[in-house]
Amino acid sequence: MKAVVYSTQPFEKELMAKANQKKHEITLISNALNLQTVQFSEGKDAVIVSNKDDLSANVINELKNLNVKYISNRSNDTDHIDKVQASILGIKLASVSDENHEEMAIQTIKNLDNWQAKKSAGKIGISSNPYRPKSAKD
C-alpha cells in the first residue's frame, strides 16, 4: 500500500520505519495536510494524519479526487476530521491512540495491513449511514 504521513515529527520517522519493516511504500513529510499540500497524496492509497492536519470537507473531497481510499489518524482527537463527508465519499477512517508513540506507529501500520488485506481497520465515530445516529449495534 502507498501512503503519505503528514505533519511528521522527527521522532516519528524511526518509529514508523521500524513498524513498517518495508511492507508499505510510505512517504513522510513535515508539512501539514491542507488544500495547499493535498497534492502530495496523489498516487497514494492512504493518508496518515495527526490532529494538526486539516480534514475539512474540502480537503476530503480533494483526497477522494486523488483516489485516496483510507485515512489513518494518529491521534485520539478526531475533531479535525469531517467524518460525515468521509463516510459519504466512502473513505475509510481509523484512529489510534497517541499516548504511546511506538504503539501508535505499530497500530498505524496494522491499519494499513488490514486495509490492504481488505479487512476492516475500524471507523471512528460514524455509523454506516451518517444521517442515522450510531446505535449499540453499529
CATH of the domain at 23: 3.40.50.720
Residue 137 lies in a domain: no
Burial class (CB in 10 A: 0-12, 13-18, 19+), 72: buried
For residue 75, how far is the Cα from the chain centroid? Answer: 10
* pLDDT tens, position by position, 95-127: 998 789 999 999 999 999 999 998 876 544 433
| Confidence at residue 121, expressed as pLDDT on a 0 to 100 scale | 66
Residue 129 lies in a domain: no
Domain that holds residue 53: 2-116
Residue 31 lies in a domain: yes
Residues 6+ positions from 40 with CB-CB distance below 8 Å: 4, 6, 27, 29, 31
Residue 135 lies in a domain: no
The cell for 125 is 465515530
Residue 79 lies in a domain: yes
| Confidence at residue 120, expressed as pLDDT on a 0 to 100 scale | 72
Residue 66 lies in a domain: yes
**What is the number of structural domains in the chain?**
1
Q: How confident is the model at residue 133 (pLDDT cuts 50, 70, 90)?
A: very low
Burial class (CB in 10 A: 0-12, 13-18, 19+), 19: buried
